[in-house]
């Protein structure tokens, strides 16, 4: 966390840890009540899956890294959905349902926050680096991200439960057909955990496989201006790398054209030359202050 310490607000991270550690107490009774009427083997498998998911989430909160962040952001919403479904089913008591829904929804909200993600990104930073997340394209929140997470959970949970219930053919079918799908979906979701800008001693780096074929270093001596810009179209002459995310927009201008390799479909790249790039980051104010402290030419918007 040390490299990005100025960008992380520790209270949300510690609150997430506390909420997650206490989930067996706050949400456990409702989960037990929801599984009570299941037959013995599926009930045991269900309990094991819940404990494994909780342990994976605990590791993600205590030792955040991009890999564990991807897992946490898949597990936490699934816990909230399960708690809401159990409450709607009516098996848990009213108090158990309220406690479970409240705790899991708070955990999911905190897991989706910027602080745990910044901590995860900076946990793998090298030397004197500060990593700042790029904003996720808003359109992905409308369906692609929730659907991808739901499908991953459905396969990982559904296959073992079907087998435990004695439904061998559908259970095997779910696992065999679902395994490659889960691989592709997890890979895509994990890609969202690996998008950031990096302040390094040599200048400014953009790491985003969704827009660039490879990470790009913009040397300090080539950057003539760096400033915030209002939401909306990118400044004229700047290459827009925001993918529709306009909040937190920052533009960098160079003293000469930079050559970039844009990522396109089917592993192809397009070569682009530009005098500036526009990205959208979280914690833009902190990023610009950190950039100024590193003697980058930060200007008022």
Answer yes or no: is pLDDT of 88 > 80: yes
Domain ranges of the chain: 2-192, 196-293
The pTM score is 0.89
- Cβ contact 204:221 at 8 Å: no
Within the chain, residue ranges assigned H as helices are: 10-21, 23-26, 28-35, 40-62, 66-89, 94-111, 114-123, 139-142, 144-164, 168-192, 284-293
Mean pLDDT of 61-86: 96
Whole-number mean pLDDT of the chain? 92
Mean pLDDT of 285-293: 92
Mean pLDDT of 227-238: 92
Least confident of 84-98, 163-177, 198-212, 246-260: 84-98
DSSP string, 103-145: HHHHHHHHHTSHHHHHHHHHHT--SS-EEEEBPPPTHHHHTHH
pLDDT in tens, 4-61: 545 667 899 999 999 999 999 999 999 999 999 899 999 999 999 999 999 999 999 9
In the chain, what percentage of residues exceed pLDDT 70?
96
And the tokens for 225?
């201006």
Q: Which residues contact 223 (CB under 8 A, 6 or more apart)?
A: 203, 204, 252, 253, 254, 255, 296, 297
- Cβ contact 281:256 at 8 Å: no
Answer yes or no: is pLDDT of 134 > 60: yes
In the chain, what percentage of residues exceed pLDDT 90?
85
Q: Which residues pair with 278 in a beta bridge?
A: 240, 251
Owner of token pair 């966390």: 1
- Cβ contact 224:298 at 8 Å: no
CA 42, chain centre distance (Å): 31
User: Which pLDDT score is estimated for 64?
Assistant: 94
User: Which pLDDT score is estimated for 7?
Assistant: 66
Query: Helix crossing, 168-192 with 66-89: angle to 10°?
Result: 130
- Report the C-alpha gap between 19 and 8 in whole angstroms: 18
Answer yes or no: is pLDDT of 292 > 50: yes
């Amino acid at each position: 966390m040390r490299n990005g310490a100025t960008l992380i607000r520790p209270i949300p991270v510690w609150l997430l840890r506390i909420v997650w550690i206490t989930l067996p107490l706050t949400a456990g009774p409702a989960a037990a009540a929801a599984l009570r009427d299941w037959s013995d083997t599926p009930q045991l498998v269900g309990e094991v899956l819940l404990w494994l998911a909780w342990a994976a989430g605990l590791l993600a909160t205590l030792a955040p890294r991009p890999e564990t962040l991807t897992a946490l952001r898949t597990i936490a919403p699934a816990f909230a959905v399960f708690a809401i479904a159990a409450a709607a089913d009516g098996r848990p008591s009213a108090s158990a349902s309220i406690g479970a829904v409240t705790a899991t929804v708070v955990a999911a909200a905190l897991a989706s926050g910027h602080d745990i993600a910044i901590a995860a990104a900076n946990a793998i930073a090298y030397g004197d680096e500060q990593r700042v997340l790029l904003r996720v394209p808003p359109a992905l929140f409308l369906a692609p991200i929730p659907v991808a997470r739901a499908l991953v959970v459905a396969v990982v949970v559904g296959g073992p439960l079907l087998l435990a219930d004695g439904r061998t053919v559908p259970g095997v079918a779910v696992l065999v057909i679902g395994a490659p799908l889960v691989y592709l979906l997890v890979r895509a979701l994990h890609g969202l955990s690996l998008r950031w800008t990096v302040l390094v001693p040599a200048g400014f780096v953009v790491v985003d496989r969704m827009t660039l074929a490879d990470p790009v270093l913009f040397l300090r001596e080539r950057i003539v201006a760096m400033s915030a810009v209002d939401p909306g179209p990118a400044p004229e002459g700047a290459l827009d790398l925001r993918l529709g995310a306009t909040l937190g927009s920052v533009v960098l201008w160079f003293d000469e054209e930079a050559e970039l390799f844009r990522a396109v479909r089917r592993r192809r790249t397009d070569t682009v030359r530009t005098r500036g790039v526009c990205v959208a980051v979280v914690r833009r104010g902190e990023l610009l202050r950190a950039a100024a402290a590193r003697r980058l030419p930060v200007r008022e918007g």
